[in-house]
Amino acid sequence: MGRLVWMLCGLMAAPVLAAVPQDPFGSPMWEYNLSRYLGEGSRVVHDERVQLVVPPFAEDSAQVPLTLDLSAYPGPVQQIITWVDLNPIPHLFTLTPGATQARLVSLNFRVQQATTVRAAVRDADGVWHIGSAYVDAAGGGCTAPSLTGANPDWEQHFGTIHGGAFARLPGVRYKFSVMHPMDSGMVGDVPAFHIESVRLTGPGGDAPLLTMTLSQSAAENPMFVFELEQQPPYTVLWMRDNNGNVFERRLGEASGAES
């Protein structure tokens, strides 16, 4: 009887599993993370137009550059979710476009060990298009102490924002960094302390250009790059961390070159 029940359960589960494409990287967290972040029963396809770029080897496990290039993706994009399969806290960021489409997103992250990294892009029909990449690493990035917090003068520069808007015809590129320790909460006696919300808005302030939520896998003193299809006269950057600190800056009109 027990064997019969097991067989029937397996047959009942088969159609659900068959809807999930096989992971070309063979990650043990593939199906679990799909269900966790995209929802059980979500429609998923691999898509080479979701170009996720990470280095083949992380020279610094606490500062690993990630670029998501959607210039070849036909869009429109409803939402983007990224995660790092084998990190203690896999989620990296969730981004929701607003008044315009984001065609490139870049951010540094932490990696605890060699792992596959994912970017999931939801289309207007609710289908998730997955881009994947693999980064080898010595590891330990998530449990390494913050270098920013070790500086006795760090509070004087806490929340300092550098960057601006740069012409990127036909749209605009925003590139900025913020001084923040982004403590992961995985170092002894150091609680989690990180930026959790990022928002770009145009002059009116009512319709966001994009909103982003971050998790502890993001690197300290994060550097953000966003390329958007449309360029407003100026943009207001707003960020908030999990302790309620708010950081704002007007990025201004787009200049012709980056600095």
- pLDDT surpassing 70 at residue 189: yes
- pLDDT surpassing 70 at residue 211: yes
Q: Where are the domains of the chain?
A: 43-250
pTM for this model (two decimals): 0.87
- pLDDT surpassing 60 at residue 198: yes
The pLDDT value recorded for residue 140 is 76
Please report, rounded to a whole number, the percentage of residues in the chain having pLDDT higher than 70.
85
CATH 3.90.1720.10 fits 43-250, yes or no: no
- pLDDT 10s digits, 150-168: 667 778 889 999 999 987 7
C-alpha 92/C-alpha 52 separation (Å) is: 13
The pLDDT value recorded for residue 157 is 85
Token pair of 197 as six digits: 């919300």
C-alpha 143/C-alpha 110 separation (Å) is: 9
Cα→Cα distances 117→5, 47, 103, 220, 242, Å: 37, 14, 19, 19, 24
C-alpha 121/C-alpha 180 separation (Å) is: 28
Neighbours of 3 (CB within 10 A): 7
